[in-house]
Structure 1
Amino acid sequence: MKVIYFITIFLLACTVQAQDSLVTKIASQHYQIINFENNHFSGEGIRNLTETIAQHKYVLIGEDHLNNEVLDFTSYLTNHINFDNYITETDQFTIDILKKDCEKNREYQSIVSNSNGKFSFFSFDKDHDLLDYFFQNNKTVIGLDQVYYNSDAVIFQELIKRTSNPLAKAKYEALLKESTARWDRYKKEVNQSPLEDGSNRPYLFSNDLGKNLMQLQKLELSDYEYRAINKLKISNEIYVLENNEKEAESNFLRTSSMKENFLENLDKIKGKRNLFKFGANHAARDKSLLQNSSDIGNLASSLAGSEKEKSLHIAIIQKSGKTGSFFSDSNDAEYVLFLRPFYRLVNKENQWLLFDLTKINEEIKKQKTSVKSSTLKNLLSGYDYLIIIPKVTAQKIVV
């Protein structure tokens, strides 16, 4: 029995190796080089890509989060193309809080630096700078995601300022205190196994928070407060499911919530020039890379189609390096296994590789090759281009 098992594993490994080699061979015929050195882009690859992007109203960037280089690329695009909307994997409430402080033109830098990293991706310098660019140029910024797992404190602070209900204010203050205490404990004990009630994780993972939010919904509050509490409640439900290892249900609820938020902003998005920046899992045209189900990229593609437009989907992922972290100076960037056929073609650190996935996918089909990896299959069918960055560097938290 063991002999059969090991023979099966060996044959499977040989099959994967052969498939990787074939994809590498095909990919080697369909890529361009983007030169990036001293924070400057040059070469035919970046020129051709920018021209292509400029022809599309719906441009989706699927990234691996919190490295400098993706933001360098995104900022390059915004300097060369006039987008109307910036649509992001964050929640609208924290975006609006930042926008309000930006419009006041005071305390804008300090509100982030004093938050102890509680503004999701905008706690990091280059993501923060990109957001600031859209604010300063009076562009619309749309957040489709749930509240990030430590941004509840930011919303509680805003609710304390806005409420005219003394009882609600006292409850918001108590929730803020609890959220802050749990976040501080979690940062020190981040590797602990999660408890069933979520009590040793950030407050949004806790069953207790959900009960307190339900009590708040019974009070006489402003429309803003009801909307904020509802957003926190949905976010809490998503995180509680995750904490209880119900990943499929959590992901379904999260994706459904993002789609609902997308449709609520349809009047702002439709007919405009839109730049989406999400994790690569969410931005593919057909199915999400990991869950194999429709996601934001699919909805954006459908909307583009209804306008007789075609969305453009660009995955931009590193081979090695460091990424930003809420808990230390940096993390090791992920080496993404299904991208091995593309990694093999990386040569110099200052040369990014731009793969035309449409042509690669056509060639694979022409050769009647069966792609075994569902994730690779979703990448090939869901993205028009793949950019491989040889080595990334970590974004830093705003101080």
Structure 2
Amino acid sequence: MFEQLPALDKRFEELNQAMADPALLSNQEEFRKTAKARADLEDVVMAWREYSGLLQEKEDTKEIIEAEDDQDMVDMAKEELHELNDRIAALEEKINLLLLPKDPNDERNVIMEVRAGTGGDEAALFASDLFRMYARYAEDCGWKVDIMNSNATDGGGYKEITFMIVGKGAYSKLKFEGGVHRVQRVPATESGGRIHTSAATVAVLPEAEDVEVDLDMNDVRVDVFCSSGPGGQSVNTTQSAVRVTHEPSGIVVSCQDEKSQQMNKEKALKVLKSRLYEKMMAEQHGAEAEARRSMIGSGDRSERIRTYNFPQGRITDHRINLTIHKLDQVLDGELDELIDALVSTNQARQLDEAARDIS
């Protein structure tokens, strides 16, 4: 993998020279593309240059050890050589990660859909817990949460809720949250103290840009209806809710949280474009993307990626066999330990695949 680094360094310099050309400033689209290409290379090129400098320092230090007669100087050089080897090893690991193929969606905003699955009212309450967990996590990251559609229950839960998280890198952090989440706890209405198991499904979609999805409105049927659900003026009295149906694919999206029919329509179309974008990516990338897309599952409690066990205060992510006893903190939005472990596992898998390809 390191063999490509000199070429990347050369390309980085070419981009630097291009950005210094006043003519490029007259074409903002080209300037934006050039600036992005340079930014994509900067981290790995800077790491490579530091790595090259350390290799030269190592050779110089070895020469000192071989040529020096003063034992104190030799001992100092050997200690420096040991430190250099540690820094070189750390940089090799960093560069290997930087050279892994980038997910083109990582920097995007994300649209998340949480739906109650098996478990009735308790599943709806758990769906509400998951929404709150992601909203708190987004808040801690300095991101914005925008509810696009929700179907609340009288008990304070959600049959389903769709929301967008706006923030740089939101998709890179949350893309592994898609799948079936299972909860084990004693419901407030359970007088016998029996533990119930219920489930909710989470879907994670990168926000699609208009230029990526050619949406022909002639293929879209738009229906309006009265909003449903508890609370709020105008609910059940005005036709502000919107349902859009993409007839070629059969994808249906409803939005009813805004009082304005136009705003609900805009949000519904945004979700529709993201679902079409996901479908397009799945078709382009074949089985791997299709497997990720199918993480939503049926909502049955037996299909799970993660279990939240209240009596024992633990969370288990079954994909990476990780169990942590921080249930309250995680549900309050402290997701970093889980997310970092999933990201690290994925990076390790990619490194293994790259090593196999090289061998």
Q: Same fold (TM over 0.5)?
A: no
TM-score, reference length from structure 2: 0.25
Structure 1 or 2, whichever has the larger Rg, is 2
* RCO higher in structure (CA 8 A, sep ≥6): 1
